Structure 1
Amino acid sequence: MKIALLIICISILSFISACSDNNAREVFVNRDTTITSANAITDLFIDSTLLELYIDSNKTDEANASLMRNFYKSRNYQYAWFTSKGLAQQANAFWNLHNHFISYSQDSSLHNDHLHQLMDELMIPDSIRIPSTKIIRQTELQLTDHFFKYAHYAFNGKIDPEEFKWYIPRKKIDAVSLLDSLIEHKGKDIDNWAPVNSLYKHVKDNLLVYYEWQKNKSLPVIGPIENTLRKGDSADILPAIKQYLSVTGDLAHNDDSQTFNDEFEKAVKRFQKRFGLKQDGVIGKDFSTEINVSVQKRIEQLLVNLERMRWLPPRPGGTFIVANIPAFRLLIFENKKKVFESDIVVGKEGTGTVIFTDSLKYIVFSPYWNLPASIVRNEIEPAIHRNPNYLQRNNMEITGYNNGLPVIRQKPGSGNALGLVKFIFPNNYNIYFHDTPSKYLFERDKRAFSHGCIRVRKPEEMANYLLKNQPEWTQTKINAAMHAGEEKWVTLKTSVPVFITYFTAWVDEDNLLHFRDDIYGHDKKLADRLFTQ
């Protein structure tokens, strides 16, 4: 049926303000007049005047107002959430998904008492209450408005990533197409409909497990572990640790003995792997620290990382490189499968490695190191004053001056700070991957020591992999170029996307949940925004 043109006063609801890009270019959609009451999927239509009244009355922000106009124009103002028989299937599916998101994200900013009351009443099975045309019309527009706010938060992230020096381009979603798809499929297979990556889904699943553990108090409180424990030892505290590792899945078969046996040693090593500790099977100070982090803190850590995962663009096809700063780990993926991994050293606090993306284009063998002006000013000049032979002893030379500051580079060689090879993905931050003569640093669990660039433990193997499709660069030739003492640039036939990321919680390819320290304090800053608003 057609709704008569009435000027009514729609109840004003207090909604949260959706994050919007005020500089974004508005997209205009023409009204699809080919849709009529004869071929529409519902016999309910809303008048455009009432839509504009809703937008004005609720002071809907420009971004959402544009989305609402374009959405209803594209369907010639058909209802999206109702049919003549009542609430449509997609409305039930969306509302359940929406409530689930509020529950696991602990984000009450999407909750609206009035709208929730309306939906709770409308979703009562076999309800004898028949809502008025006004209530249906009001709920229709509120649900559409709310969907676009939900889509922004749930699939695009609540916080602007650039506030946290995250310069990987944020994922873009077409919220109108997303809603069209939901309606077209009537809310079926909604888990696959949601535009979130597999990383997000796996972490979210683990978050739900932590909520259960918190609710049921499944994880015992261990307390400080005073003495170092290893295989063969006995201690009163071991039954509690065994119970903890049994709940987390690290210990396959729990027992309440006080003996540190072979099976328990394997469980300790698995726990150490998941927390980035040395996998020696010995319970020490770091193990004690990690096992005593509260369930609530782990929940907050998972929520912070879920927010970051909403920012991520879709994974590229083909080959790409991911360096995760808190994990001190570099991975290469090919067709979504891990084909290479290496330990890395990242920037220390204060000269931290920037979070961004670019494309690796060049490999430089036997590289010069062109020292940044900040290092020359803060480190090299004072060293020269202390020792006039400093440059010669470190195989360095002055190539000129810039505003009175010497321009210095270190010549190729085994003692070069960049080692024997570097990998360049041109960027504004002067960050690249490189070899290092300081191999001993890779033996540390925590490896934040550089000035911002990323040192790779297995640079020769990485060069071999990246040049595998350039047959003139054999392993022998690569090794020779690394030790030639003469700089040689090689351009990759196909550039490789590089993502420098910051995740302190994730699920790996073996379905193991990992946690890492917040070495730059980014988690804390993001948590302050997420949990105090």
Structure 2
Amino acid sequence: MKILYSLVAVSILFVAVSCNSKAEKKEEELKKTAVKVVPELRLSIDSSKIAAFYQAYPKLDKFQSDVLALYKKNKSTQLWLDNKGVVEFGSTLFNKYKGLDQEGLKANFPYNEKINPIFDHNIDNKLSQVDTDLMITNLYFYYVQKVSGVDEKTTKSLEWLLPRKKVNYQVFSDSIYKKATISDDKKSKMFSQYYKLRDALHQYREIEKKGGWKNIEVGEDFKSFKKGDSAVAVGQIRERLYITGDLKEDNKSNVCDSLLISAAKNYEEHHGLTPKNIILPQHIAEMNIPVSDRIKTIIANMERCRWIDPALEKGTEYIEVNIPEFRLYLIRDHQIAFVSPVVVGKAMTKTVIFSGMMNNIVFSPYWNVPTSIINKEIKPGMAKNKNYLAQKNLEWNNGAVRQLPGKNNSLGLVKFLFPNSNNIYLHDTPAKSLFERESRAFSHGCVRVGKPRELAIELLKQDPSWTPARIDKAMHAGKENWVSLKKKVPVYIGYFTAWVDRKGNLNFYKDVYQRDESLVKLLTEE
């Protein structure tokens, strides 16, 4: 009996131990499979830590005030890190930064050796979490600054006085909280020309990758190629025009035919040259400009586009003058309403890059002679000839000199005023032959208009009482007549040596004031 009780006791004990063992095992398994609750990462990034960061990384000091404001807005906690590491938006930022080359910019963050390991899992990131977050924030401001263009102080030193697009870091920083994508899909952040030039940059870099184009070889005594001429250089021209799409097919022929002449004329039209039925040495010289130089020109003009406020092109009516193109456009309701050739300032008396609001048209204007011309020309002329003023149609006017209205007046028969400190305006001219030249930099700074009558008619459509007949009469009245526009018209005088027109054609123009090289140097040295 005792043995029976003992066996029962052992059995009960075994079952108890066995059950306990299973329970413990189950509990162990539950512990293994349980999700660990990790506290949310909350780094304290206050002003003292930010100050210490800039002590260690002084090349980023220019962003300090913006960084302080941003962290203060975020309650002095991290922006880019969570429990898993860098948030997706941070990786998007880094990829955009690494893609700056696609925007014609150098990705040369001052501390590349520190920023790269943060995103490259094959390299050990030795920064603390606080410094990691701060380094990404500085990359953010660096990226925004780069894609917004060089600062306004620099553009003014480059004599660019058009209104600058303001860099609004607040708008950009808000996207951090919204976890938005740094993107230009809506194409509303930049002047629209920027995106067109960016596409052209990609196209020309592809051409460069394939070897660019060969030099067209002609002898020193070369005069021209016309239809029917045969030469090895003709085949080289054909190949050259095919590469840039001016010629749709390269049949390898060395005979100059109508298709080649037509393609050459298309090329000339988009390179600031007068299209002709023959191919001249200057046309070949233009074609021989290396693709690498064309790429630099595109990059320089992309940078200029970064400075333009996109709101400019939203206006219902405005005038734009492109100095290197020697052309004026009147834009109305987002369409080109009027085009005119213009003459701009010589290299020594450059036309200023700026804007103003046109408020008056002056028919049969006087020309108030500048003091410099009075001293250099008029006074010596008067000393030699007592009838000098009368012969030049000049008169004294309160201690100054002015030229009387008339067809020989230096301002022609009409001028268009938009008050500015540069004393620049648009006007007619008696020297009509200058508009027939390809390069038209001859003035003392003002812009001479090739079709002044037609421009006056377009601008005065605001006022039906100013008919073309009345305008003609006022232009030839010989008496100055000021007319106020019912609505002021913005005037923008710009400088673009590369421009994609509304038909999608890329145009190149001569750098008449030699501004591209210094800008490219600035962009590549930063």
- State TM-score, norm by structure 2: 0.85
* CA separation of 1:397 and 1:190: change in aligned 2, threshold 3 A: closer
* CA distance in 1 between partners of 2:72 and 2:503 (Å): 47
Does residue 1:155 correspond to 2:152, yes or no? no
Unpaired stretches in structure 2, ≥5 consecutive residues: 1-39
Return the match for 2:364 from 337, 347, 366: 366
SS of match in other structure, 2:325:
coil
User: Contact between 1:347 and 1:451, CA under 8 Å: does it hold in 2?
Assistant: yes
User: Contact between 2:54 and 2:61, CA under 8 Å: does it hold in 1?
Assistant: no
SS of match in other structure, 2:415:
strand
* CA separation of 1:437 and 1:108: change in aligned 2, threshold 3 A: same
What is the Cα-based RMSD across aligned positions, in Å? 2.4
Partner of 1:196: 190
* CA distance in 2 between partners of 1:81 and 1:451 (Å): 55
Alignment of 1:173-184 (within 5 A): 173-181=167-175, 183-184=177-178
SS of match in other structure, 2:133:
helix
Unpaired stretches in structure 1, ≥5 consecutive residues: 1-41, 402-406
* CA separation of 1:131 and 1:416: change in aligned 2, threshold 3 A: closer
Partner of 1:96: 95
Give the count of matched residue pairs.
Answer: 481
Partner of 2:25: none
Partner of 2:158: 164
Shift of 1:83: 3.1
Partner of 2:506: 513
Shift of 1:185: 4.8
Partner of 1:490: 483
Alignment of 1:268-307 (within 5 A): 268-307=264-303
* CA separation of 1:174 and 1:519: change in aligned 2, threshold 3 A: same
Shift of 1:348: 1.0
Shift of 1:460: 1.1
* CA distance in 1 between partners of 2:478 and 2:187 (Å): 55
Shift of 1:413: 0.8
* Identical positions, percent: 35
Deviates more, 1:446-455 or 1:276-285: 276-285
* CA distance in 2 between partners of 1:332 and 1:315 (Å): 17
Does residue 1:71 correspond to 2:70, yes or no? yes
Does residue 1:480 correspond to 2:473, yes or no? yes
SS of match in other structure, 2:390:
helix
* CA distance in 1 between partners of 2:420 and 2:493 (Å): 12
Alignment of 1:344-493 (within 5 A): 344-401=342-399, 407-493=400-486
* CA separation of 1:290 and 1:386: change in aligned 2, threshold 3 A: farther
* CA separation of 1:160 and 1:491: change in aligned 2, threshold 3 A: same
Shift of 1:386: 4.5
* CA distance in 1 between partners of 2:304 and 2:237 (Å): 32
1:117 alignment partner AA: N
In our comparison, the structure showing a higher alpha carbon Rg is 2
Q: What's the CA shift string for 1:211-252, capped at 9, x where partnerless? A: 222222042222346330122322211122111111111112
* CA distance in 1 between partners of 2:422 and 2:105 (Å): 36
* CA separation of 1:288 and 1:381: change in aligned 2, threshold 3 A: farther
SS of match in other structure, 1:146:
helix
SS of match in other structure, 2:203:
helix
Partner of 1:311: 307
User: Contact between 1:182 and 1:193, CA under 8 Å: does it hold in 2?
Assistant: no
1:305 alignment partner AA: N
* CA distance in 2 between partners of 1:240 and 1:82 (Å): 57
* CA separation of 1:130 and 1:153: change in aligned 2, threshold 3 A: closer
User: Contact between 1:91 and 1:187, CA under 8 Å: does it hold in 2?
Assistant: no
* CA distance in 2 between partners of 1:140 and 1:190 (Å): 25
SS of match in other structure, 1:362:
strand
1:107 alignment partner AA: K
2:322 alignment partner AA: N
SS of match in other structure, 1:326:
helix
Shift of 1:330: 0.8
User: Contact between 1:250 and 1:271, CA under 8 Å: does it hold in 2?
Assistant: yes
Shift of 1:152: 1.3
* CA distance in 1 between partners of 2:176 and 2:225 (Å): 55
Q: What's the CA shift string for 1:413-451, capped at 9, x where partnerless? A: 111111110000111111100011111110000001111
User: Contact between 1:102 and 1:110, CA under 8 Å: does it hold in 2?
Assistant: no
Partner of 2:328: 330
Deviates more, 1:357-366 or 1:392-401: 392-401
Partner of 1:228: 224
* CA distance in 2 between partners of 1:526 and 1:469 (Å): 40
SS of match in other structure, 2:324:
coil
Q: Give the helix-richer structure, 1 or 2.
A: 2
Shift of 1:191: 4.0
Shift of 1:383: 3.4
Does residue 1:251 correspond to 2:250, yes or no? no
Does residue 1:142 correspond to 2:135, yes or no? yes
Shift of 1:526: 2.5
User: Contact between 1:223 and 1:292, CA under 8 Å: does it hold in 2?
Assistant: no
SS of match in other structure, 1:468:
helix
* CA distance in 2 between partners of 1:183 and 1:212 (Å): 38
Shift of 1:115: 3.2
* CA separation of 1:171 and 1:104: change in aligned 2, threshold 3 A: closer
Partner of 2:493: 500
